[in-house]
């Protein structure tokens, strides 16, 4: 499983496992979790910029956008229970 390093608001780097990815209306999203277990906290991240091999992702904060992307990930990962 691929990993991404995400810097949180405190500047700490967190390694996240990429569970799934999708593109909606030309925006690229990933579903990432802190570990590979089913009880892990997951995050929806949106690609906000790309410079060569460096890609910057940001947390999806807009509720409507989050709900829409979550529903796509739920369909893609129909064997996973999201809470």
Query: Is the pLDDT confidence value at 80 over 70?
Result: no
Cβ within 8 Å of residue 19, ≥6 positions away? 1, 30, 31, 32, 33, 42, 77, 80
Helix, strand, coil fractions of the chain, as percent rounded to 5:
15, 50, 35
Query: Is the pLDDT confidence value at 1 over 80?
Result: no
Per residue in 46-70, pLDDT tens? 999 988 888 888 889 999 999 999 9
End-to-end alpha carbon distance in the chain: 22
HSE (side-chain half, CA atoms, 13 Å) at 8: 8
Q: Which residue has the higher pLDDT, 78 or 38?
A: 78
Q: Hey, is 83 helix, strand or coil?
A: coil
Per residue in 30-44, pLDDT tens? 999 888 776 788 889
Averaged pLDDT score across all residues of the chain:
86
């Amino acid at each position: 499983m691929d990993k991404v390093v995400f810097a949180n608001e405190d500047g700490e780097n967190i390694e996240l496992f990429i569970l799934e990815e999708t593109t909606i209306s030309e925006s690229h999203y990933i579903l990432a979790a802190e570990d590979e277990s089913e009880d892990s906290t997951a995050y929806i991240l949106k690609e906000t910029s790309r410079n060569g091999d460096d890609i910057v992702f940001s947390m999806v904060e807009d509720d409507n956008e989050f709900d829409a992307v979550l529903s796509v990930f739920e369909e893609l990962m129909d064997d996973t229970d999201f809470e």
